[in-house]
Amino acid sequence: MSIWFLLNGLLLIWAIWNVASGVAVHTSYIHILLGFTGFLFFIFNWTRNAVFSTIRNIEGRQNKIRLARMSKRIRPYHRWVGTGAFLIILLHAWAVVALYGFDLGNMKILTGFLASINLFVLVLSGWYRLLVDPRIRIRKLHIRLGISMFILTAVHFLY
């Protein structure tokens, strides 16, 4: 099993913890639920990276075939799930700005803003790869943007 499965699971548990504590404290929590929904879409897509990493590192051929088939079934929805994540995160951002204002001095808003820009470029690179240029360079950029999105999401949860 890939280290990414463990990291994704830990980030998911941390997100659930943040949502549970945020809903308990805030009187208006729609922004928290929107952010969590967008996060679930992102982590669903990012788990494909864990599957591919596992395929590369696993020994048994049958397990590789099983994981590759599972990933192949999910592939047609990958870009749409990513685009949906971006749209939901935009709604999350709109709700946060409506409640708290746009203050980049606030670390939670700053990290969310940076993560949303990263997610926008991540989604663009995925569509660009499909429609225009499927070269390896774009694929590597897409994976690096996914890693930075994972890190920015974790930092966003810190604040």
Locate the domains of the chain by residue range. Answer: 3-158
> What is the spatial distance between Cα 13 and Cα 47, in angstroms, rounded to a whole number?
14
Does 26 have pLDDT greater than 90?
no
Q: What are the tens digits of pLDDT across the range 35-69?
A: 999 999 999 999 988 898 889 888 889 999 999 99
pLDDT band at 20 (very low <50, low <70, confident <90, very high): very high
Number of alpha carbons in the 13 Å side-chain half-sphere of residue 33: 7
Place of tokens 């997100």: 15
Of 97 and 50, more confident: 97
Residues 6+ apart with CB under 8 A from 32: 19, 22, 23, 26
> What is the spatial distance between Cα 53 and Cα 5, in angstroms, rounded to a whole number?
9
> What is the spatial distance between Cα 29 and Cα 156, in angstroms, rounded to a whole number?
17
Model pLDDT, residue 106: 96
pTM (two decimals)? 0.93
For helices 30-57 and 61-100, angle between their N-to-C axes, nearest 10 degrees = 160
- Fill in the DSSP letter of residue 104: T
Residues 6+ apart with CB under 8 A from 154: 11, 14
Token pair of 92 as six digits: 């999350």
Token pair of 104 as six digits: 């980049």
